[in-house]
Amino acid sequence: MAERDRTPDEREPRDSQQAAEPNEENMNPAETKAFEQYHDELEAVERRIAGEIDPGSRAMVVASAVFVLLLSLVLPHAGAARGLDVVLYDHTAQAEHIGLPSRLFEWFVVVFGIGFSSLALVTRRWALAWIAVAGSAVGSVFGVLSIWHRQTPGLGDYRGAGPGIGLILATLAIIVLTFHWIKVVWSRTAMQLEAEERRRIAAAEEEERHKRWLQGEDK
């Protein structure tokens, strides 16, 4: 009875509220599922791009440096000892009195200069590129130290064979590798951060549109 006695103006707020409630409750499942799938895909793309590098033309320089490092393993490191002999520290390396700096350098060449650099080039993963550049940078220091060590008299004024062509080439190659890896991992930042920002804006706009649809403003 009281409801019938109300004027149309008095009934209007309540009627509007009742009309809005089903709009939020009666959500379209297909629309909701499509939005969630779209949002998940955007996040997946953003994560993938954030973890990738784009070496571009530098990929050829990096690949060439890796090839030179591989070649240095079969070239003389010092005297009769080749780079591979130094890695294994066999009787030939021991006979040439190969010191710790050279042994550490060759291991950095194999693990970081060749191993992680090749993996980073193939997979284009940003984390692997960072490991490669860090290891190559340390390896560059050991390379220079190894050349100096082979030119410095040892205990009892022992003078062994000087640095071989393999050691010199490997040192130059790993320095070049370090420089170009640094350029690659830093050059990705501006371009990929811009792409990530565009995707975040697109996701925010889609979410806002979805909210308006739920509230009945986009009907």
Digit-by-digit pLDDT tens for the chain (219 residues) are 444 555 555 555 444 444 444 444 444 556 555 656 665 666 665 566 556 787 888 999 999 999 999 999 999 999 899 999 999 999 999 998 899 999 999 999 999 999 999 999 999 888 899 999 999 999 999 999 999 998 887 655 556 788 999 999 999 999 999 999 998 888 766 666 676 677 778 777 777 777 777 776 554
CA atoms within 13 A on the CB side of 191: 12
> What pLDDT score does 189 carry?
62
> What pLDDT score does 22 carry?
42
Report helix, strand or coil for 161.
coil
> What pLDDT score does 165 carry?
96
Q: How many domains does the chain have?
A: 1
Confirm whether 165 is domain-assigned.
Answer: yes
Confirm whether 143 is domain-assigned.
Answer: yes
> What pLDDT score does 26 carry?
47
Strands (E) across 68-198 are located at 76-78, 81-82
Cα–Cα distance, 77 to 66 (Å, whole number) = 17
> What pLDDT score does 142 carry?
97
pTM over 0.75: no
Confirm whether 87 is domain-assigned.
Answer: yes
Confirm whether 25 is domain-assigned.
Answer: no
Strand pairing of 76-78 and 81-82? antiparallel
Confirm whether 202 is domain-assigned.
Answer: no
> What pLDDT score does 67 carry?
97
Confirm whether 209 is domain-assigned.
Answer: no
Confirm whether 139 is domain-assigned.
Answer: yes
Confirm whether 53 is domain-assigned.
Answer: no
Nearest to 139 by CA among 166, 115, 111, 165: 111
> What pLDDT score does 18 carry?
46
Cα–Cα distance, 197 to 190 (Å, whole number) = 11
- Which residues, including other chains, have CB under 8 Å from residue 99's CB and lie 6 or more apart? 146, 149, 154
Range of the structural domain that residue 92 is part of: 58-186
> What pLDDT score does 70 carry?
97
